[in-house]
């Protein structure tokens, strides 16, 4: 349940500025802090062992984020259908 709440909060936070600071759930309110803004259409999220994470966008871009908030686009991917 905890991992689901984190993913839900991240997906909500990824929608950009102006998002709510908390959402109500059957387990009570879930507070969150946006950690990424400026993405077009976030599509998938994967956590990395060192504390970073990867986010894909619907159009096929892949972004790597480190623990400090740095962002780098990963290029050289195969064509995305």
- Residue 18, pLDDT score: 47
- Residue 10, pLDDT score: 55
Tell the burial category of 19 from Cβ atoms under 10 Å away from its Cβ (0-12, 13-18, 19+): middle
pLDDT over 70 (residue 64): yes
Q: What is the mean pLDDT of residues 58-77?
A: 92
Average pLDDT, the chain: 80
How much is the pTM?
0.63
Return the residue matching tokens 């060192």: 50
Per-residue pLDDT reduced to its tens digit, 20-55 = 588 888 999 988 887 888 899 999 999 999 899 999
Q: First and final CA of the chain: distance in angstroms?
A: 33
């Amino acid at each position: 349940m905890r991992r689901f709440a984190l993913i839900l909060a991240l997906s909500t936070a990824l929608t950009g500025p102006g998002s709510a600071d908390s959402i109500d759930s059957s387990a009570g309110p879930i507070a969150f802090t946006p950690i990424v803004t400026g993405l077009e259409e976030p599509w998938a999220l994967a956590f990395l062992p060192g504390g970073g994470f990867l986010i894909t966008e619907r159009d096929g871009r892949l972004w790597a984020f480190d623990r400090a908030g740095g962002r780098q686009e990963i290029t050289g991917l195969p064509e995305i259908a």
